[in-house]
């Protein structure tokens, strides 16, 4: 089963910058289980619109192309990793 974590972000977004090291931790901890796919909303606004992204950062977990979970905003690393683990 393919599991993707979509990260909708922008370079000017302070909460996005706060989450950068958290996303890197998730990539390492869930290597082989979750593929992190980062989308800069400034460079691909159409994709963000297709996913109904209204605020950033927005994180979407997809299993086999179907959305199973979504969260927005900066979160503590442990909370975020727990959210990812619960939605695998």
Strands 3-9 and 58-63: antiparallel
Q: Which of 6, 7, 8, 16 is catalytic?
A: 16
Q: How are the residues of the chain apportioned to helix, strand and coil, as percentages rounded to the nearest 5?
A: 35, 30, 35
Q: Do 33 and 88 contact (CB within 8 A), yes or no?
A: yes
Active site residue 66: no
Q: Which of 6, 13, 34, 41 is catalytic?
A: 13
Active site residue 70: no
Would you name the residues annotated as active-site residues? 13, 16
């Amino acid at each position: 089963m393919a599991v993707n974590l979509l990260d909708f972000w922008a370079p000017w977004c302070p909460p996005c910058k706060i989450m950068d090291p958290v996303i890197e931790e998730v990539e390492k901890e869930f290597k082989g289980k979750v593929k992190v796919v980062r989308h800069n909303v400034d460079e691909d606004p159409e994709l963000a619109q297709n996913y109904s992204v209204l605020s950033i950062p927005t994180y979407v977990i997809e299993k086999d192309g179907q959305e199973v979970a979504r969260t927005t905003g900066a979160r503590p690393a442990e909370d975020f990793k727990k959210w990812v683990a619960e939605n695998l």
